[in-house]
Amino acid sequence: MGKGMLKKSFGQHILVSRGVITKIVELLDIRKGEEVVEIGGGTGNLTKALLESNLKRLYVIELDREMVDTLKGIRDSRLKILHGDARKFNLCELGSELKLVGNLPYNVGSLILENIIHHHRCVPYAILMFQKEVAQRLEGKGDVSWLSVFLRTFYEVSYEMSVPSRFFRPPPRVQSAVISIRRKGTTVVKNLEDYKTFLTTLFANRRKKLGNKLPPEVLKAVGVEEGRRVESLSLEEFLKLYEMLKLMA
């Protein structure tokens, strides 16, 4: 395989539209002296556009060793290429106020997002690209998932734009979309793993009524009827149920 070529195993689809790349950089709204993290630099199309801004430092996390070698060909003293896995990378080691951007691979995008949420204390803002239907779910529309609730607990999510498959090489079989996530001020959640377990348990066996998943006294205290199902809950109700469950434990 030649240098810089894509691998199916990494779920790589390189964004080649200059117009979309420019819009993503604009959405990131980079201010002078800010530190930016790009997830999956690929062949460097977005990387080069980010370096046209007045950022202080650009970290690029790339898993594919051949892509790392390609990216190292970009000469800029502000650029640091990191060979690593964004699904488990400790983002807070790079800084305490990071702006993050990435065209996330379809096959691991959710796992990367989960890692970002776990590091929300040092990622106040991010621009991320997902499969379109995933982006819509994360915004809270359609078939809501535990990850959508997990994300919206810590971030305000906005759907920014759709991106047709023709803007990628190779073109994916599905449409893509860009979302922005902006960290909220405070949350009652302190133990993220505990909260994740609460959400995944509630979303398991979705057809079961909440009365079969949570103690009746918890539901009653929050004012949630036992006959409701998990997809009917608002974000506020999820948080109230979680808080009450901890109080009554």
Judge whether 107 lies within some domain.
yes
The domain in which residue 100 lies consists of 8-183
Residues 27, 98, single domain; the answer is yes
Q: Is the pTM of this model over 0.95?
A: no
Q: Are residues 198 and 226 in the same domain?
A: yes
Residue 207's CATH number: 1.10.8.100
Q: Are residues 63 and 176 in the same domain?
A: yes
249 residues of the chain, pLDDT tens digit each = 333 444 444 446 789 899 999 999 999 999 999 999 999 998 899 999 999 999 999 999 999 999 999 999 999 999 999 999 999 999 999 999 999 999 988 889 999 999 999 999 999 999 999 999 999 999 998 888 999 999 999 999 999 999 999 999 889 888 999 999 999 998 889 999 999 999 999 999 888 999 999 999 999 999 999 999 999 999 999 999 999 999 998
Is position 97 within any domain?
A: yes
Nearest to 38 by CA among 118, 88, 99, 123: 99
Residues of the chain by 3-state class (helix, strand, coil), percent to 5 = 40, 20, 40
- Domain tally for the chain? 2
CA dist 153 and 120 (Å) reads 11
